[in-house]
Amino acid sequence: MSDAAEIINMVQDADGRFTPQSVERMERGAKGLVPKLLKVAGKIPFADDLAAAYFAARDPDTPLKAKGVLFAAAAYFVMPIDLMPDFLAGLGFTDDATVLATALGIVGMHVKDVHRGMARRLLRMPEPVRRED
C-alpha cells in the first residue's frame, strides 16, 4: 500500500489519534495477544520478544510503518488458523517464531529497552543482571 493510500484511509482510534486503516485493523487483530501469551508463555522461548514487540507497537513514539509490521506479527500469533497449528507438539509455534523474527529483523530497532522491561514485568520474568566492569 502506498503512503498516499494510507493517508486517504485514515481512521480515528480509541485514543483520538488518526491512524492508517491497515494499522488499526492489525491492532484490532492483536487484541487477544496478552491472554494467549500468558496462557502459553512457559511453552515458547520467544514470549518476551513477542510481548516487547506488542508494547513497541502500542507506543505512540513508534513510527506507523513499524507499528503495522509489529501488530501484524502479533495478530498472526493470535490467529486461530495459521500455517502450522499451535497444538502440534514441538512444531506448533515455529511459524509464529519465524513471523516474529522476520518482523523484528525489519523493525526491531523500534523495540526499546522500556518495551522489553514492560514485557518482563508482564511475564513476571526477572530483570537481567547488569555486570559492572
CA atoms within 13 A on the CB side of 91: 5
Residue 29: alpha-carbon gap to chain centroid? 11
pLDDT digits (tens, 9 = 90+) for 50-63: 999 999 998 989 99
* Cα–Cα distance measured from residue 31 to residue 82, given in angstroms and rounded to the nearest whole number: 17
- In terms of pTM, does the model score above 0.85? no
Grid cell listed for 122: 508482564
Q: The cell 485514543 sits on which residue?
A: 15
d(CA 78, CA 26): 11
How do the domains of the chain map onto residue ranges?
12-122
Average pLDDT, the chain: 78
Tens-digit pLDDT profile for residues 66-90: 999 998 998 888 876 665 565 555 5
Asked if 30 contacts 71 with a C-beta cutoff of 8 angstroms, the reply is yes
